[in-house]
């Protein structure tokens, strides 16, 4: 029996024995197959070190990684989570759109680590790879990284072949690793295939084992409790555009919804629907209405990493959405089951907060307040930036 199966069985046994599980007993160190403590980083086997990324690409490094090219905000979070202390001293490129992609987080990063603002920048990756992949390769090669981290979702979304881009990196002798949480979140392999594999490249196996165990255990707790539930929760999920009109109603990209219940958009063919209507809202009879993403209202980012909670602004925005024609008659609105949720954490292990917060919101027998608080403590331990400023705003229950 391999190590991963043993860890999974141990977690399942704990869940079966402890009906109300918390995470205070999660080990600070994970043991190896022989029961001995994993050796310190300097004792781990020397190079070459090889792993396989989520694109099936073999990644091999032959020396200590001292320079990492970050190409997208999502790869920054995953890289820094895997690397741990000192990650900011290893970064040699930064995405140019950090502040525009997530203003609050971008501002926090620039203020906390001002040295990162002077690094060479990677242009917005999706459009740059589609229009001029050579320019992206050129910036990366000039920075002389020991490793490049690429977001699988962005690369896969580029229609034009990228053979030339990869060929340039190969010819320069620069290894690259693809990361991806997103649709793979809350599976038994996502943490291992992202954080775990990167930690191997960084010779940081102990940290990788801790993070993978935490993530896998946390999602397994919720999975087991949901299995005991008879009712399926029906969610209406919208990425807001403006309070006065329907936004992007989606059945993809929100794995916590599929994990906890059923996205009603699946009843209408799945994918994205920009022509949703009140008639469809009445017909779908959702238990919960979720306005999901990073809503901006009057130019202010209301949700996200490092955002100060502004109940007055959130309440005003909620009032605008609830004023939509006919919404006051919907059962979900009458039950006050309407909320704004921040979904960008799906880029990394922070997505477990999305799952736990929403589960706690809809049913405290799935996740208790104490368990949610404990998960935040663990995320604060592993994530590169603190978890302050994250919250979900629910329709006032007057």
Report pLDDT for 359.
94
Distance CA 246, CA 254 (A): 18
Q: Which residue has the tokens 């049913």?
A: 363
Q: Which residue has the tokens 């999602």?
A: 219
Report pLDDT for 176.
97
* Pairing between β-strand 68-70 and β-strand 91-95 as defined by DSSP bridges: parallel
What DSSP string runs through 132-195? -HHHHHHHHHHT--SEEEEEHHHHHT--S--HHHHHHHHHTT--EEEE--GGGTTSSSHHIIII
Rounded to two decimals, the pTM is: 0.86
Any idea what DSSP says for residue 67? -
Contact call for residues 262 and 232 (beta carbons, < 8 A): yes
Distance CA 29, CA 226 (A): 29
Q: Which domains does the chain have, with CATH numbers?
A: 41-204 (3.40.50.1980), 229-394 (3.40.50.1980)
Cα 326 to the center of its chain, rounded Å: 34
Report pLDDT for 37.
52
Three-state SS string across 244-275, please?
CECCEEECCCCHHHHHHEEEHHHHHCCCEECC
Q: Mean pLDDT per 10-residue run, the chain (398 residues)?
A: 46 40 45 47 69 93 96 94 96 92 88 96 94 95 98 89 92 96 88 96 96 96 93 91 84 85 90 86 94 75 84 90 93 93 83 92 94 93 80 71
What DSSP string runs through 87-106? GGGTEEEEETTHHHHSHHHH
3-state secondary structure of 200: helix
Q: What tokens appear for 342 in the block?
A: 């921040």
Report pLDDT for 388.
65
Looking only at Cα atoms, what is the longest distance across the chain?
65
């Amino acid at each position: 029996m391999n190590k991963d199966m043993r860890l999974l069985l141990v977690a399942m046994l704990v869940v079966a024995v402890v009906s109300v599980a918390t995470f205070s007993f999660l080990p600070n160190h994970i043991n190896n197959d022989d029961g001995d403590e994993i050796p310190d980083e300097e004792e781990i086997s020397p190079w070459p070190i090889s792993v396989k990324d989520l694109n099936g690409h073999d990644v091999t490094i032959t020396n200590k990684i001292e320079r990492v090219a970050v190409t997208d905000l999502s790869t920054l979070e995953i890289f820094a989570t895997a690397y741990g202390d000192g990650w900011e001293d290893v970064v040699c490129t930064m995405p140019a759109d950090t502040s525009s992609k997530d203003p609050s987080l971008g501002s926090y990063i620039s203020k906390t680590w001002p040295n990162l603002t002077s690094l060479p920048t990677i242009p917005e990756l999706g459009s740059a790879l589609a229009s001029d992949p050579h320019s992206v390769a050129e910036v990366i090669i000039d920075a002389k990284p020991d490793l490049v981290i690429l977001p699988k979702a962005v690369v896969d979304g580029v229609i034009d072949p990228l053979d030339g881009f990869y060929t340039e990196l190969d010819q320069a002798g620069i290894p690259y690793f693809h990361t991806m949480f997103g649709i793979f979140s809350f599976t038994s392999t996502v943490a291992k295939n992202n954080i775990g594999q990167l930690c191997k490249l960084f010779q940081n196996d102990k940290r990788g084992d801790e993070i993978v165990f935490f993530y896998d255990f946390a999602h397994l707790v919720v999975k087991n409790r949901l299995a005991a539930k008879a009712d399926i929760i029906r969610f209406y999920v919208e990425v807001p555009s403006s309070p006065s009109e329907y936004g992007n109603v989606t059945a993809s990209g929100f794995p916590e919804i599929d994990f906890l219940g059923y996205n009603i958009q699946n009843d209408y063919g799945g994918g994205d629907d920009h022509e949703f209507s009140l008639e469809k809202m009445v017909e779908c009879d959702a238990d919960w209405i979720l306005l999901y993403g990073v809503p901006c209202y009057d130019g202010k980012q209301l949700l996200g990493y490092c955002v100060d909670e502004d109940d007055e602004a959130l309440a005003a925005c909620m009032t605008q959405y609830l004023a939509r024609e006919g919404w006051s008659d919907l059962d979900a609105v009458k039950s006050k089951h309407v909320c704004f949720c921040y979904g960008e954490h799906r880029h990394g292990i922070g997505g477990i907060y999305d799952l736990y917060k929403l589960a706690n919101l809809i049913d405290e027998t799935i996740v208790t307040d104490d368990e949610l608080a404990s998960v935040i403590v663990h995320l604060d331990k592993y994530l590169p930036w603190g978890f302050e400023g994250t919250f979900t705003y629910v329709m006032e229950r007057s």
